[in-house]
Amino acid sequence: MKLIGLTGGAGSGKTTVAEMFRELGATVVDADEASHEVYAPGSPGFDAVVSEFGPEYVREGRIDRERLGELVFHDEDARHRLNAIVHPLVRLWMSARTIEAERQGADVVIHDVPLLFENGLQDIYSDVVLAYVPEALQLRRLVEGRGLTEDRARAIIASQTPIEEKRVRAQHIVDNSGSREATREQVKNTWAQLG
C-alpha cells in the first residue's frame, strides 16, 4: 500500500482537492477530522485539554476551538502544550483509519495534513501532493472567502511554511488557482500517477 501526503497552504483549496481524490476512489484520511474526533466530549483529548487550559475553553459542552485557536495562535508556549496533547492522539486516530483502509484492500491512502511540512512529516510518505495557489490568492481567499481581516490572514500565512517552498519540496503540484475543471483534470492526472 502507498501512503501519500496531501498538503497546502491556508486558502489553497486543499479540501477541494481532497474531495476530488475521494470522487476518484481514493481513501482519504483527514487530519482535521482527526483533530475534531480527539476533542470530542468525554474523550481523553477533551479531558486533557480542559485539565491543561481550564473549563473556560468549553462552550456548550464542547471544546471552544475558536477561543483555543486564538490563544495558541498568539502564545507559542500554549501552542506547544496543546500540540503535545493533540498530535499523538491525531496520529493514533489516523493510523487506525489507515490500517482499516489497508485491511479493506486500499492500494493508495492519502493523508490530508494541513501542516505536513511544518511538522516534518514528509518522510513518512512515498509522495507529497501540494494543493497550490500563489500567496496573493491565498490572501484574497482568506479575506473574501472566509471573512478574515487582512492582518489576520497575513498572520496565518506567515505562520506556515511559504507556499513557494512547499512547491519545491512536493513531488506533485495541483495548481488550484484556475477553474474547478482545470483543478479536477490535474487531480485526475496526479491520481493516475499515484496508482
Q: Which of 99, 53, 96, 100 is nearest to 75 (CA)?
A: 53
Structural domains in the chain, sorted by start: 2-194 (3.40.50.300)
User: Residues 95-122, buried b or exposed e (16+ Cβ, 10 A)?
Assistant: eebbeebeeeebebbbbbbbbbbeeebb
Mean local confidence (pLDDT), 30-38:
92
- Each residue's pLDDT tens digit, 2-25: 999 999 999 999 999 999 999 999
Would you place residue 150 in the very low, low, confident or very high pLDDT band (cuts 50, 70, 90)? very high
Cell of 66: 475558536
| Residue-wise pLDDT tens digits, 80-105 | 999 999 999 999 999 999 999 999 99
How high is the pLDDT of residue 118? Answer: 93
More confident residue, 76 or 111: 111
Sign of CA dihedral 53, 55, 57, 58: positive
